[in-house]
Amino acid sequence: MSMSRSALALLVGLFSGSLLAAECPPLLQGELQQLRSQERIDLCQRFAGKPLLVVNTASHCGFAPQFKGLEALYQRYKGQGLEVLGVPSNDFRQEADNSEETATVCFVNYGVTFAMSEPQVVSGADALPLFRELAAQSSTPRWNFYKYVVGRDGKVIASFSSLTKPDDPDLIEAVEQAIASQP
């Protein structure tokens, strides 16, 4: 009898996991290693159903001061559900040589509290699945600090170039649209 209960529990667990994966938008399927942590970020578990701003970053880029504005944007809207995900990348040859330095730039120099991953490939054939899906829905990042605003349904609402600052009215409008969106 207990064998039947165990088997049933296993089947229910497997079925529930399959349902969750089926309900998770393609953009959010997968995991990323959290910056300077043993923790992994399960994209679906962490971000599904939430408005999201995804930014590819680089520690030694001239746009790195945007970390401060991104943090301010996150603080302003996190109470309304906004999540921000920073994804460091050396695709444009401006990321630190090691994660410790990347973490220092983000967390110490700019006071970032939003989610940051370990450095990833964000463009080209080897791009992280998250960025392949962002590119399919919008465009490939052309430089560091390219920004994607994603609605609660996991679809890109708008993307913005590196030149767009986090306090730009068009970016703010897209973030507010993502917050108001339905899953």
Q: Which amino acid is at 65?
A: P
In this structure, is the dihedral angle defined by the CA atoms of residues 28, 149, 92 and 113, taken in order, positive or negative?
A: negative
Q: For residues 103 and 97, what is the distance between their CA atoms, to the nearest angstrom? A: 11
Strand bridging mode 31-33 / 40-42: antiparallel
Residue 117 bridge partners (DSSP):
34
Q: For residues 119 and 153, what is the distance between their CA atoms, to the nearest angstrom? A: 26
- 146, 160 Cβ separation under 8 angstroms: yes
142: three-class secondary structure by DSSP: coil
Q: What are the structure tokens assigned to 34, written together?
A: 């959290």
- Is 61 marked active-site? yes
Task: Supply the Cα-derived Rg of the chain in whole angstroms.
Answer: 18
Q: What are the structure tokens assigned to 99, written together?
A: 């994660």
Which residue in 24, 44, 61, 106 is the catalytic one?
A: 61
**Active-site amino acid positions:** 61
